[in-house]
Amino acid sequence: MTTKRFFALMLTTLFVASASAAKPEPTVTVIPQPVKISVEKGEFTLKPSTPVVLGFDDAKMECAIDFLNSVVEPMTGSKLKVTDGKAKKGAINILQDPTLGEEAYRLEVSRKGIDITASSSHGVFYAFQTLRQLFPVELLKSGKAESVEVPAVSIEDEPTLPYRGIMFDVCRHFFTVDQVKEVIDLIAMHKMNRLHWHLTDDQGWRIEIKKYPKLTEVGGYREDSQVPGTHHQVDCRMEGKPYGPYFFTQDEIRDVIKYAADRFITVVPEIEMPGHAVAALAAYPELGCTGEQYKVRTIWGISEEVACPGKESTFRFWEDVLAEVIDLFPSEYIHIGGDECPRVAWEKCPACQARIKAEGLQNEDELQSYFNHRIEKFLNEHGRRMIGWDEILEGGVTPTTTIMSWRGSEGGIAAAKAGNTVIMTPKTHCYLDYPQGKDKTIEPPYGERRPNHPHFLPLENVYSLDPYDQLTPDEQKNVIGVQGNMWTEHTPTFKHVEYMLLPRMAAIAEVGWNYYGKDFDRFTDNMLRMLRLYDVYGYTYATSYWRENGKK
């Protein structure tokens, strides 16, 4: 038996023992599962008058406190008072231990009070996220609870992986600032820390770029859309109505970035190049190899119309765009896409062929690498690091490139072995646009819902993600994270998006937070309480796993 298993068994024993005592202990479940948790006897009674005593402060402590009060106020009707000073009885004491990791925390709830220890407000924020899950769900929106019983627990917690993200595509379907903020709330609730914001694609350019206004004027609009749920090669039908123009102004982008930062989340922008760029080509046709009049793509799938790396003006364009992106986004990482870039236009383009010859490149794969290297150099010169989808491995990558492995884990494994940093988001486990159950009323009606079908992704498959698969302990260090991807071709409304995210993003969160403690049975039992938390906030979610396995 592994130590973890032994520990889990001890916990179960503890739990059963306390549950059989005269007064049943409140059920304690936390998602993602804390690294160490033991349920103690008794509870702390939180009152509207309970003070928060800050034993240390930092630049973002106020954000953590604001979050706590955003939970407490709808429960008791008032905010908790915050004071500085020494820990005291009957308080929520915030203590500092600089030896803990940035995201780590300890949480001790006893009859005497609540002690939270962390090295920074980031850890405190996660302790508060845990605390929310300890509050009785039925009181969370009650408005006037005079006392709240918080079960006594002792928790030591910290994540396995530093990057835990959700990618949100706002190109295929557009979502409002408030909806993006709700995705951010969900990311925070699951102790994840990255929103990978997919802002440009063939079907729409969604970020205002001051130097190139047509990107949003022209690229933010499309004449028609493929009906969600139809396959572009099988039964492609069109909506028959225009879409847009839709885009985020730079002020809105700044607002989203701040909202995320206040929740300890970094927004990683993705600007797709040189493929998945038809919306940009429609706005500025000279970006393409032929300069013909491109149109923002109305059907899903992959386009052969891509940017031309043969022309210097193409580089000037992307560098200008990235300069504005860098000004907006503080993220160390900038995602440049790089996936699904057919080479047919390059094969016929005199400028591309001249570039291949002049640079001594072997083929069009290497032409894309050449493009990537120049873009990476630009990003590095501006103090940023480049992420690209795993196709960018094909013509060779620099050792400093971060690979986002999506076609499977193979690209990520190869990259981690070669020494590149990697984020694992294989479609076999992390593509949250794939259906998860039998319910066709809200899930996209495409894909076959049967085990082993490549476009069927039930909860258990997501949870079985192993980001360290086939890697030695040294190579594992190159895997910095995991991510769920919310592509939106088939999710026209935000309710669809919530349904596809929940509960599967919880599975990805748990893999990233507590890889070594994974236990699917415990996870699905504990999720039942999390679903009630989703209810409190009015989120739409899938219960397919429990219904289809006779558990609900």
Asked if residue 406 binds ligand ACM (CB under 6 A), the reply is: yes
To the nearest whole angstrom, how small is the minimum distance from the Cβ of residue 253 to ligand ACM?
Answer: 22
For residue 84, indicate whether it is catalytic. Answer: no
| Binding partner selected for residue 541 from Zn ion, ligand ACM, none, CB under the kind-specific 5 to 8 Å limit | none
Given 163, 389, 513, 534, the residue binding ligand ACM (CB under 6 A): 389
Report the residue from 100, 256, 287, 308 that binds Zn ion according to the rule CB under 5 A.
308
How far is 408 from 396, CA to CA, in rounded Å? 18
For position 152 contacting Zn ion by CB under 5 A, the verdict is no
Q: Which DSSP symbol is given to 187?
A: H
Q: What is the end-to-end Cα distance of the chain in Å, rounded? A: 31
Structure tokens at 469: 């698969």
Using CB distances below 5 to 8 A depending on partner kind, what does residue 289 bind out of ligand ACM, Zn ion, none? Zn ion
Residue 410 corresponds to which tokens in the numbers above? 């193979």
Cα dist from 6 to 2, 10, 13, 99, 158, whole Å: 6, 6, 10, 27, 20
Choose from Zn ion, ligand ACM, none: what does 352 bind? Cβ within 5-8 Å by kind. Zn ion
Cα(380)–Cα(546) distance, integer angstroms: 47
Cβ 408 vs Cβ 454: under 8 Å: no
User: Which residue, 324 or 364, is less far from Zn ion as judged by CB?
Assistant: 364
Catalytic residue flag (residue 196): no
Question: Which of Zn ion, ligand ACM, none lies near 308, with the C-beta cut-off 5 to 8 A by kind?
Answer: Zn ion
Candidate list 61, 127, 148, 352; residue touching Zn ion; CB under 5 A? 352
Please choose which of Zn ion, ligand ACM, none residue 163 contacts, taking the beta carbon within 5 to 8 angstroms, the exact cut-off set by kind. none
Q: Cα-atom radius of gyration of the chain, to the nearest Å?
A: 25
Rounded to a whole number of angstroms, the minimum distance from the CB of residue 110 to ligand ACM is 48
Stretch that binds Zn ion, among 105-113, 309-317, 429-437, 507-515 (CB under 5 A): 309-317
Query: Which residues partner with 288 through β-bridges?
Result: 307
Decide: 163 and 267 in contact? Cβ < 8 Å: no
Q: Work out whether 349 is an interface residue with Zn ion (CB under 5 A).
A: yes
Stretch that binds Zn ion, among 44-52, 153-161, 343-351, 420-428 (CB under 5 A): 343-351
Residue 61: what are its φ and ψ, rounded to 5°? -60, -35
197 interacts with ligand ACM by CB under 6 A = no
Query: Does 371 engage in binding with ligand ACM (CB under 6 A)?
Result: no
Residues 160 and 467: their CA atoms lie apart, in Å, by 11
Q: Which of residues 276-295 bind ligand ACM (CB under 6 A)?
A: none
Three-state secondary structure call for residue 458: coil
Measured from the CB atom, is 487 or 539 closer to ligand ACM?
487
Of residues 289 and 415, the one with the C-beta less far from Zn ion: 289
Toward ligand ACM, which CB reaches closer, 72 or 306?
306
- Annotated catalytic residue within 185, 320, 339, 340: 340
Determine which one of 122, 190, 276, 429 is catalytic: 276
Is 335 tagged catalytic?
Answer: no
DSSP per position, 403-453:
EEE-S-SHHHHHHHHHT--EEE--HHHHBTTS--SS-TTTS-S-S--STT-
Q: How many residues bind Zn ion (CB under 5 A)?
A: 6
Q: Return the residues of window 444-503 that contact Zn ion according to CB under 5 A.
A: none
422 binds, among Zn ion, ligand ACM, none (CB under 5 to 8 A by kind): none
Contact 30, 130 (CB under 8 A): yes
Nearest-approach distance from CB 393 to ligand ACM, in angstroms: 13
Of 392, 396, 419, residue with least CA distance to 479: 419
* Residue (191 or 311) nearer to Zn ion, CB: 311
Q: How far apart are CA 47 and CA 146, in angstroms?
A: 6
Q: Are 369 and 395 in contact (CB under 8 A)?
A: yes
Binding mask 140-159 for ligand ACM (x = CB under 6 A): --------------------
Residue 349 binds which entry of Zn ion, ligand ACM, none, CB below 5-8 Å type-dependent: Zn ion
Residue nearest to ligand ACM (CB): 339
- Give the footprint of Zn ion on residues 255-294 (CB under 5 A): 289
Rank residues 39 and 278 by Cβ distance to Zn ion and give the closer one.
Answer: 278
Q: For 235, how many CA atoms within 13 A lie in the half-sphere containing its CB?
A: 7
173 Cβ contact partners less than 8 Å away, ≥ 6 residues apart: 228, 488, 489, 491, 492
Give Cα separations from 101 to 37, 377, 391, 469 (angstroms): 18, 31, 34, 25
| Partner that binds at residue 338, options Zn ion, ligand ACM, none, CB closer than 5 to 8 Å by kind | none
Strands 36-46 and 422-424: unpaired
Give the x/- contact pattern for ligand ACM in 335-354, rule: CB under 6 A. ----xx--------------
Catalytic residue of the set 201, 365, 376, 443: 201
Asked if 420 contacts 403 with a C-beta cutoff of 8 angstroms, the reply is: yes
Check: CB of residue 123 under 8 Å from CB of residue 105.
Answer: yes
Binding string, 434-473, against ligand ACM, x = CB under 6 A? ----------------------------------------
Neighbouring C-alpha atoms within 13 Å toward the C-beta of 53: 15
* Residues contributing to the site for Zn ion (CB under 5 A): 289, 308, 310, 349, 351-352
Task: Report, as residue numbers or ranges, the catalytic residues.
Answer: 201, 276, 340
* Residues contributing to the site for ligand ACM (CB under 6 A): 339-340, 389, 406
